[in-house]
Homo-oligomer: A and B are copies of this chain.
Amino acid sequence: MSPYEIRKLTREGKITHQTCGMCDGYAQGNLLILPKEHAYDFLLFTQRNPKSCPILEVGDVGSRKLKKMAKDADIATDIPKYRIWEYGELKGEYTDISKFWRNDFVYFLIGCSFSFEGELLAADVPVRHIEEGKNVPMYLTDIECEPAGIFHGKLVVSMRPMPADQVIKAVSVTASMPRVHGAPIHIGDPKKIGINDINKPDFGESVTIKDGEIPVFWCCGVTPQSAVMSAKPPIAISHAPGHMFITDVKNTLLKD
């Protein structure tokens, strides 16, 4: 099915599950919705932290439509599952947020590592959590994001282990995709970035690291949610983890 058909079924409430692996080749996006009052601070946060928050599209104030990343889409209905946050705390999950939409809301669609994983596999770089049918392991680091207004917090990273002879290829492939997190931010010793136990991720699931494999760390799209938890705005809406917005734009076109 095309991204449009998937979004239509999602809008009708017929798709409510995770989107990993759906519409192969098309970019998927993380979502954050904030009132205009906090939109400047967050937009500046994304500008100052482009590797963790690469923007795909920002809506006009009050608009639920997309102009660049999808046709005939509605940001308030076309994602399988949403989360509503009040003062930094998760208040509930919904499959449709139309009834909560406000005229002062601004949506931010943010690049997702699903896009570069396809490219890694195409280059024969192993992606362990896909092999093992798990969520990617994610960790809170001790690296402070560049703050902007009310938004601040630690950088969240995702990790993919691989043989040493695959690392250069993995850097090269992802460096060419800056709009979906780009090159890794760290290779090797997890302790150097404040991760004490590589087998205990803060989000997602632990994966096997084979003898001699090197852990490779990328900036992660969960960072914006971490910044929301730190900033504690009265209201924010995000996608639920793994339940992404599927765009009409192919991953290969995110390389420019």
* Bound: A43/B39 CA distance, A: 11
CB distance from A89 to the nearest CB of B (A): 26
* Bound: A50/B44 CA distance, A: 14
Chain B residue contacts of A39, Cβ below 8 A: 40
Does A47 count as interface, using CB distance less than 8 angstroms? yes
Chain B residue at minimum C-beta to C-beta distance from A39? B40
Chain B residue contacts of A43, Cβ below 8 A: 40, 43-44, 47
**Identical copies of this chain, number:** 2
Chain B residue contacts of A55, Cβ below 8 A: 47
Classify the secondary structure of A's interface with B.
helix
Chain B residue at minimum C-beta to C-beta distance from A178? B178
Does A58 count as interface, using CB distance less than 8 angstroms? yes
* Bound: A183/B256 CA distance, A: 9
- Contacts A44-B58, A47-B58 known; list 12 others, CB within 8 Å: A39-B40, A40-B40, A40-B43, A43-B43, A43-B44, A43-B47, A46-B47, A47-B47, A47-B55, A48-B58, A178-B178, A183-B256
16 A-B interface contacts by CB (under 8 A): A36-B40, A39-B40, A40-B40, A40-B43, A43-B43, A43-B44, A43-B47, A44-B58, A46-B47, A47-B47, A47-B55, A47-B58, A48-B58, A61-B149, A178-B178, A183-B256
